Amino acid sequence: MSGFKLGKAAELATVAIRVKDRDKMIAFYRDLVGFELKGEENALAIMGTAKAKNEQLWLEESPRADDHFGQVKKMQSFTLSIPTVSELAAIYNRFKVADYPIENEAIAETITIHVIDPEENHVKFIALQANEVTTMEELAAMGNDENRYLSPEVHVRNVHLNVNDLSDEAAFLEGIVAISQDESQINEQFHVSLNESPSEAIAIDSHKIIGLEFLKFFVSEEKLLELEKLLNEQKKDFFIDKKKSILTIYDAIGVEWWFVRR
């Protein structure tokens, strides 16, 4: 085994979700969550945070994909880290005003809000606080229109995957991409957490089912070439373009990971 470590050297750029109804999903992520619609290309809606040239969320419409609603699929949830309590309050207030169902909410050293989007993807919002609020009513009262769109500091800090075999996915995370599975520190960079489930829907090819499609990361040229070398040493199947600018590989549950040269 080489000494290759990607981990914090990889910057999560995009979570791509395959959807049935793009317009309904755009409305949810723009009007309630607060993403800005950056553009639309054919079946793809590109969303990011305000005043930033990012594409944190892609919604790719695929009407022919099976929905498998009510079943456990590849993604259990993804978590957005919110930099301030006031910004989280604005998000929370939008859901309350719209009378949108909230799955769970909790207040301690961190404030957590958990909702389910129109196509059953679980989304969590989390923010650190210093005793700024003690009840959800106080949080809602802080909400205002000043935080209409998510600020540039908002980022995806966790993707929680459902897997059929924990050891197979852990081997991919630890031995290949070296992405952390430790979610104990809210300020740490992106990490992945895992949940084992026997659901048959987890094993369905990503292009045939709605839900998580791929994760895209930015890496340096040096790290991209190191990853290529490691995968060749381990005789893994992967794709890298002729310009050595993008490398893609599938994990144990068929989620595609893109590594793009900065």
Q: Write the pLDDT tens digit of every residue in 67-80.
A: 999 999 999 999 99
pLDDT at 213 > cutoff 90: yes
Q: How far apart are CA 259 and CA 262, in angstroms?
A: 9
DSSP designation for 66: B
106 in a domain, yes or no? Answer: yes
More confident residue, 174 or 1: 174
Straight-line distance from the first to the last Cα atom of the chain, in angstroms, rounded to the nearest whole number? 26
pLDDT tens sequence across 44-66: 999 999 889 999 999 999 999 99
Q: How far apart are CA 216 and CA 136, in angstroms?
A: 34
- The pLDDT of residue 175: 82
2 in a domain, yes or no? Answer: no
DSSP designation for 82: -
193 in a domain, yes or no? Answer: yes
pLDDT at 243 > cutoff 70: yes
Place of tokens 């930015």: 218
- The pLDDT of residue 80: 97
Give the sheet arrangement for strand 57-61, strand by strand. 36-41, 44-48, 57-61, 11-19, 211-219, 256-261, 246-250, 239-240
57 in a domain, yes or no? Answer: yes
213 in a domain, yes or no? Answer: yes
Average pLDDT over residues 32-52: 95
Q: How far apart are CA 173 and CA 168, in angstroms?
A: 9
1 in a domain, yes or no? Answer: no
pLDDT at 4 > cutoff 80: no
Kindly report the CATH number assigned to the domain that includes residue 12. 3.10.180.10
> What total number of domains does the chain contain?
1
115 in a domain, yes or no? Answer: yes
Give the sheet arrangement for strand 110-116, strand by strand. 104-107, 110-116, 122-128, 75-81, 155-163, 191-196
The structure tokens listed for 221 are 């040229």
Q: How far apart are CA 218 and CA 31, in angstroms?
A: 28
pLDDT at 138 > cutoff 90: yes
pLDDT at 86 > cutoff 90: yes
pLDDT tens sequence across 168-188: 998 998 888 877 655 554 445
More confident residue, 142 or 118: 118
Q: Are 140 and 86 in contact (CB under 8 A)?
A: no
Let me know how long the chain is: 262
Q: What does the longest C-alpha to C-alpha distance in the chain come to?
A: 56
- Structural domain boundaries enclosing 109: 7-261
Of 28, 59, 57, 55, which is closest to residue 42 (Cα–Cα)? 59
The structure tokens listed for 96 are 């309350």
Contacts of 5 (CB under 8 A, 6+ apart): 178
Q: Could you tell me what percentage of the chain is helix, strand and coil, using 3-state DSSP and rounding each to the nearest 5? A: 25, 35, 40
69 in a domain, yes or no? Answer: yes
